[in-house]
Chain A
Amino acid sequence: MNITTTTYTENDTLPAEEILGASETTATTKETPRPVAKAERIQTIDVVRGFALLGILLMNIPGFGIDNSVHYDVIYGRHNTADYYTMAAIYSFFDGTMRGLFSMLFGAGMVLFTMNKKEVEGGATVAEYYYRRLLWLVLFGLINAYVLLWWGDILFFYGFLGMLLYPFRKAAPKWLVLLGLACFAIGHFKQQAGYVEFREKRIEYVKAVAAEKARVKLTEKQKAAKAEWEEIEKNQKPDAERVNRNVSKMRSGYTTVFAYFVDRNAGFETWLLYHGLWDMISMMFIGMALLRLGFFSNKLSTSTYGMALLIGYGVGIPIGWIFFSKGVANTNIGAYLDAYRVPHWALYDIRRVLLALGHASLIMLIYRSKIVPWFMKVMANVGQMAFTNYLVQSIICTLIFHGYGLDYYNRLKFHQLYYIVGGVWVLQMIYSYIWLRYFRFGPFEWLWRSLTYWKFQPMRLKVRTVE
């Protein structure tokens, strides 16, 4: 990718832009640091963020609506079904990429936040606002997970991981990319170590079976190894008792679901923050680099975006298909372990980065071509209210699926889930567009801001202010 355009430095005057998006259209007073005024927003960042925000529901909807065992049923079932095609499309084209774009834009937003704030003598420092903001984000994440009861919340992790990004905000793009790659490498190393350990069990089993065939008496250790693997193979099939239990819990009243989620959330948060952070933080570093290279702010040449699209999709889609058809859709775990020393999951991140770049470039090119300016405007609105929209997705989907709502948990087929996604998308586009005609930012953005600056922020657009 040839990068010809400018990189941002601290002195660049860049319009205000923040983590999950929020718009500001009028000037604010200068005395205290506060959401910086702007004449013109970088609309492209909002547009990309809007797409990422809506796209993330593609990946989240199974988590909201069905038990994990449905994946098994679809993959092990007949292949010429709508469910299977849907799953194939989602896994080869979207899985991880929307989350990736979201993480990238979060990293980018962090850079912008610190750049746009001016230090004020005697007041709280920019660093303090930055960290206050993130602590509130952690709290919003906890609310999303424990009050709205969405176990797949990411705000919690973004809040914590953002705290690690701060010292890197001025690093050169080159270093940021290297950091991102290093994080990928660590993640892969951990994953590969886990795979090797798992594969070891299969190898022991194969040895034991071979010995048995050769009529050699098995040692105690070999017997144990054989039994262990057989147990693992048996457990590949979803355990009906566990599934029933999960489904009946999810279809219960609020308190039951809450009690069910407390342990689940805590376990998830602990594990992901400690072991799974590489997935997110790597993309954040790369997003910071891309911002500084001008990628997200529409500063690169059309041919560069075209090239990125070509490479991103051209290489990413085939890899994505291999990843799905050979990896995800594999139905024989034993044969798989025998055949591969490195699992297809090793392709996951490279595919993710390529596809995410492809998606973003495509959006940029459409934006530039001005084919559908009204649609871009709507998507920019969705992106400006990304934080609100993210939380609203939790509210809507939990109310559709959980027992205390419409109780649709595990009642829809896999492909039917995507009708709901479509519905939520349309809804979010419409209310985002309308809301932002009257207000400066989304309701949760406003709340977040007001909490960060510990002062009610003006919300109404035009002359009248809420203050």
Chain B
Amino acid sequence: MGPTTFHQATPDQPLNPMVSTEKNVNLLPRIQPLDVLRAVALLGGLLVSIWLFGGFTNNKQLQLLHNPHGGNYVLYSMIVLLFQGKMLALISLVFGAGMVLYLNLENGKSAQFAADLFIKRQLWLLGFGLLNALLFLWTDDVLFHLAIMGILLFPFVRLSSRGLFIASIVATAIFCGKNYWKYADDKKAYNKYLAVTAYEKKLTRDSTARAQKTVQAKDRKNTAIVPKKDSLSKQQKADKQAWEGTLKNMKYDPKKDDGENKEMQTTSFGDLWSHLLPQTQNHEAQWTFKTGIWDIASMMFLGMALLKFGFFGNRFTRNQYLLFALAGLAAGLLLGWFRLYYNQVTVVDYKKYLLRYWLPYNFFFPLEKLFMAIGYASLVMVMTGLTRLAVIWKALASVGRLALTNYLLQSIICSLFFTGFGMGYFGKFPQYQLYFVVAEIWIVQIVFSVLWLRKFEYGPAEWLWRCLTCMKWMPIKKAATDTNQTVIPSLS
């Protein structure tokens, strides 16, 4: 890793006496690719988040997968291919890169100081995440996870870029393995179901005594306990229901959304809160434990590796970046297309799929995300080099610098717009109209960010975050003389 990497961006170490601000200012590029990338992830992420915010439910997506034709489907598949999962990947990637900058290990003694601040800052981020989930009612909040994962991966920050890259691959592989594991469980559940139904048939057909004997012998492997009576045991019933439930969850049910719509349109904040709490807890506990850790870790490691490798500091030529972008996006889209196709096969007839394929449809999803993230990152490196479009990148960089503010703002706006506590538009828009809402929010956020940063150094939430981390009031107003000084990875 070249030391130059570090000087091209300013670590967020306001109190750090060892960091000479002067030096950093001189070396500061005008546009930060990391800020732009963060903005892309933040704004692009809303295209997927809006499904959950606005009521384009899983059920409705299943309807499209069962009948994959028409403009609605094309729109859906484009979002799936280009954005689903990739924006979280990018956010994690930028976060990982930001960690390395923030901790700036080459700073000798002050590294301890930075580490101290870093942990505090992560804990406050955890607080912001809980606020976002529990007060702004965003069940799919990721601040919580970024906070935890940042702490968890903190001890790895000293690894070389190669070590980090390997770590990223390992995490990706485990993520793939987790997807496979889930699939293997489904297979097991299906086999248990077959055993139980066979047993059931025999019970009704044969004389009971004989039936019990033969099946007991035959099925001892598959069913835990065969009771000495003519009905199914609790375990057998549970086995049967488990598989039937899995299948049911893959069917489109026109009535299924009514209940959810009603719940989301309740005008009482308390009712809404209790309705959403299980979802939030599921996302914060189960999802994190099962896949979230590997999902986010793979990308954070990648971000750390890329930063140390100098990827964000023009280590490569423009053509090389272009090549990476094309290759990454092509590979990612190809995998994505396969995933989408096999997802359809899966939901149409899961039994058939189980018998035919030994890998689940989403097995390569982690790789797809990895490729797409590299593709997007490279693309941003190319595009930010185009000076003719500088206005756009500047605007986007502003959004990226206010990432925390904007992220929380998205939750506030969408909760107020869609839930019954606010305007109650949940479930009332068809898919394409939801994207108009997204576009509106984009405009608001871009304009807001640009205007805000004319007056202020930091976004309001970023400022609050800094104050809390350092436990004292920090300046927020822009210093009059120096306009270029602050390029702070705000959601880093």
What is the interface of chain A, defined by CB distance below 8 A to chain B? 119, 121-122, 124-128, 131-132, 135, 163-164, 166-167, 239, 241-242, 244-245, 248, 266, 269-271, 273-275
Contact = CB atoms under 8 A, between A and B. Distances in A.
B71 interface: no
- Interface hub of A164, A239, A244, A271 (most chain B Cβ within 10 A): A164
Contacts of A271: 285
A244 to B, nearest CB: 6
B151 interface: yes
Contacts of A124: 158
A122 B284 contact: no
Nearest to B284: A274
Nearest to B121: A167
Interface of B: 108-109, 111-112, 115-116, 119-120, 123, 151-152, 154-155, 157-158, 224-225, 227, 233-235, 281, 284-286, 289-290
A132 B115 CA distance: 13
B119 A127 contact: yes
A269 B224 contact: no
A163 B152 contact: yes
Contacts of B235: 241, 245
Contact of B123 (A164, A239, A266): A164
B123 A125 contact: no
Given A126-B112, A167-B116, A239-B234, 7 more contacts: A119-B112, A131-B151, A131-B154, A167-B120, A245-B225, A266-B289, A269-B289
A419 B273 CA distance: 50
Question: What 8 pairs between A and B have smallest CB-CB spacing?
Answer: A274-B285, A127-B115, A131-B155, A125-B112, A132-B155, A270-B289, A167-B120, A125-B115
A135 B157 CA distance: 13
Given A135-B152, A241-B235, A245-B235, A128 B158 contact: yes
Nearest to A126: B112
Contacts of B152: 135, 163
B225 A119 contact: no
Nearest to A124: B158
Nearest to B109: A121
Nearest to A125: B112
A270 B293 CA distance: 12
B115 A128 contact: yes
B119 to A, nearest CB: 5
Contact of A125 (B111, B120, B227, B284): B111
A161 to B, nearest CB: 11
Contacts of A244: 225
A125 B111 CA distance: 7
Contact of B151 (A126, A163, A245): A163
Nearest to B114: A125
Contacts of A127: 112, 115-116, 119, 154
Contacts of B285: 270-271, 273-275
Contacts of B224: 245, 248
A248 B225 CA distance: 10
Contacts of A163: 151-152
A270 B151 CA distance: 18
Given A127-B119, A239-B234, A241-B234, A270 B109 contact: no
Contact of B119 (A119, A121, A166): A166
A244 B226 CA distance: 11
A126 B154 CA distance: 12
Contacts of A270: 285-286, 289
Nearest to B234: A241
Nearest to B117: A167
13 contacts: A119-B109, A125-B111, A125-B115, A131-B151, A135-B152, A163-B151, A163-B152, A164-B123, A241-B233, A241-B235, A266-B289, A273-B285, A274-B284
A322 B433 CA distance: 62
A341 B233 CA distance: 37
A135 B115 contact: no
Nearest to B108: A121
A417 B88 CA distance: 51
Contacts of A245: 224-225, 235
Contacts of A131: 151, 154-155
A113 B285 CA distance: 29
A119 B225 CA distance: 60
Nearest to A131: B155
A5 to B, nearest CB: 28
A274 B284 CA distance: 8
Contacts of A269: 289
A145 to B, nearest CB: 13
A8 to B, nearest CB: 18
Contacts of B234: 239, 241-242
A242 B227 CA distance: 12
A245 B223 CA distance: 11
A244 B233 CA distance: 12
Given A241-B227, A241-B234, A128 B281 contact: no
A167 B151 CA distance: 12
Contacts of A132: 155
Nearest to A127: B115
A164 B151 CA distance: 9
A198 to B, nearest CB: 15
B110 to A, nearest CB: 10
Nearest to B123: A167
Contacts of B233: 241
